[in-house]
Amino acid sequence: MKQLVRAFIAVIAIALALMYVTSVLNSEQGYSGGNTLTVYNWGDYIDPELIAEFEQETGVKVIYQTFDSNEAMLTKIAQGGTTFDIAVPSDYAISKMREEGLLLPIDHSQIPNLSHIDPRFMDLSFDPGNVYSVPYFWGTVGIVYNPELVGGKTFRSWNELWDPDLRNQILLVDGAREVIGMGLNSLGYSLNDTNEEHLQEAKRKLERLTPNVKALVGDEIKMLLAGEEAAVGLVWSGDASEIISENEKLDYVVPEEGSNVWFDNMVIPKTARNLPAAHAFINFMLDPEHAARNAEYVGYSTPNKDALALLPEEISGDKRFYPDEELLSKLEVYDNLGKRMLAHYNELFLEFKMHSK
């Protein structure tokens, strides 16, 4: 019995010694949350080799989870019980998270690579001074189409989506702001409109689009359009760029009535456990060589001016995905419309989805 007790004490002593050594090593590296970093990002939105390189360089193990809409991400972080160190919300969602106290300030002194970001993408209205967020990717919302499947037709206006010849030919990105915004823009209203009559008018107009809607989809939209399963899509520009690189017959246009310009930024949620690793990850992703590889891999537009300079001219010079100031000045950023109005947009979108089934 005594032997058993001695053996038990020895095991406990070894375990405690190991825990002590690990904690000393971790604190020397400054990683108070253990040697892990939990990243919460959109699906298909990072080159996985960069994650592996970050792990190798820092010794930090990355736990990677994905979401498919700002709304899903917001709900998950707000309800608690998560330990995300990094998340990648869009503009209006960043503003909402700031307002709800869900973000931690970013220590700029730990992000020297911030100097590579084009000043045009800094200090935007959803996060003045970039206190809580750092640019990751940006883009527009528009129409991707396959001229061969629509009799050689090209698109200039949102209203062309209502053409009866497009019956069951349109795929829509499964996003409340994108779909309701498109409905509002097609009527000449702002995609941030909160006038109830305008919203009901957009709702009725969108209901008339349903015979043309084949489905509302997530990341599969790229595979379906490149594979010619549908002729037309309402998409984010980065997805259009990826689709076109798979199938060069397709083209992308931002409609003349106006559309959305959006910004996805990295943030550190209140749930973070490993602040040094979170800052190290942001800085790593902002390194121009890493940011350029990431942009080439995912197909989205980089806000990193020194990464842009490393990209082939066929990417950096493509006005469809790096639009000029003239087009940008006609586009709107989604506003944070406040809790009640955002919930109303989501309701209208859900009703539209029910109608589309």
Span from 40-48, 183-191, 265-273, 304-312 in contact with ligand SPD (CB under 6 A) = 40-48
Q: How far is the CB of 139 from ligand SPD (least distance, A)?
A: 7
Count of positions on this chain that bind ligand SPD (CB under 6 A): 9
Q: Is 94 left (phi over 0), alpha (psi -120 to 50) or beta?
A: alpha
Beta strands in the chain (DSSP E): 36-42, 61-67, 86-87, 103-104, 133-145, 170-173, 213-217, 232-236, 251-253, 261-269
132 lies in the site for ligand SPD, by CB under 6 A? no
Answer whether 88's CB lies under 8 Å from 42's CB. Answer: yes
293, amino acid identity: R
126 lies in the site for ligand SPD, by CB under 6 A? no
- Identify which of residues 271 and 301 has a Cβ nearer to ligand SPD in the complex: 301
128, amino acid identity: P
Answer whether 226's CB lies under 8 Å from 243's CB. Answer: yes
Answer whether 204's CB lies under 8 Å from 248's CB. Answer: no
Alpha helices in 47-195 (DSSP H): 48-58, 70-79, 91-99, 176-186
Q: What does DSSP say about strands 170-173 and 213-217: parallel, antiparallel, or unpaired?
A: parallel
90 lies in the site for ligand SPD, by CB under 6 A? yes
Cβ-Cβ contacts under 8 Å for 72 (sequence gap 6 or more) = none
Q: Give the residue, chosen from 174, 193, 264, 306, that forms a contact with ligand SPD under the rule CB under 6 A.
A: 264
Q: How far is the CB of 194 from ligand SPD (least distance, A)?
A: 18
Span from 11-19, 36-44, 115-123, 312-320 in contact with ligand SPD (CB under 6 A) = 36-44
Q: How far is the CB of 45 from ligand SPD (least distance, A)?
A: 4
133 lies in the site for ligand SPD, by CB under 6 A? no
Query: Which phi and psi angles does 322 have, rounded to 5°?
Result: -125, 70
318, amino acid identity: D
Q: Give the residue, chosen from 262, 321, 345, 352, that forms a contact with ligand SPD under the rule CB under 6 A.
A: 262
332 lies in the site for ligand SPD, by CB under 6 A? no
- Identify which of residues 262 and 321 has a Cβ nearer to ligand SPD in the complex: 262
44 lies in the site for ligand SPD, by CB under 6 A? yes
- Identify which of residues 126 and 155 has a Cβ nearer to ligand SPD in the complex: 126
Span from 38-46, 53-61, 148-156, 250-258 in contact with ligand SPD (CB under 6 A) = 38-46
45 lies in the site for ligand SPD, by CB under 6 A? yes
Q: How far is the CB of 186 from ligand SPD (least distance, A)?
A: 18
Interface positions, 201-240, toward ligand SPD (CB under 6 A): 219, 236
Q: How far is the CB of 90 from ligand SPD (least distance, A)?
A: 4
Cβ-Cβ contacts under 8 Å for 253 (sequence gap 6 or more) = 142, 143, 145, 154, 155, 156, 320
42 lies in the site for ligand SPD, by CB under 6 A? yes
What are 285-289's contacts with CB under 8 Å, separation 24+? 285/50, 285/136, 286/111, 286/113, 286/114, 286/116, 286/117, 286/134, 287/113, 287/116, 288/113, 288/116
136 lies in the site for ligand SPD, by CB under 6 A? no
Q: Give the residue, chosen from 43, 112, 227, 338, that forms a contact with ligand SPD under the rule CB under 6 A.
A: 43
Token reading at 341: 């109005």
Chain residues that interact with ligand SPD, rule: CB under 6 A:
42-45, 90, 219, 236, 262, 264
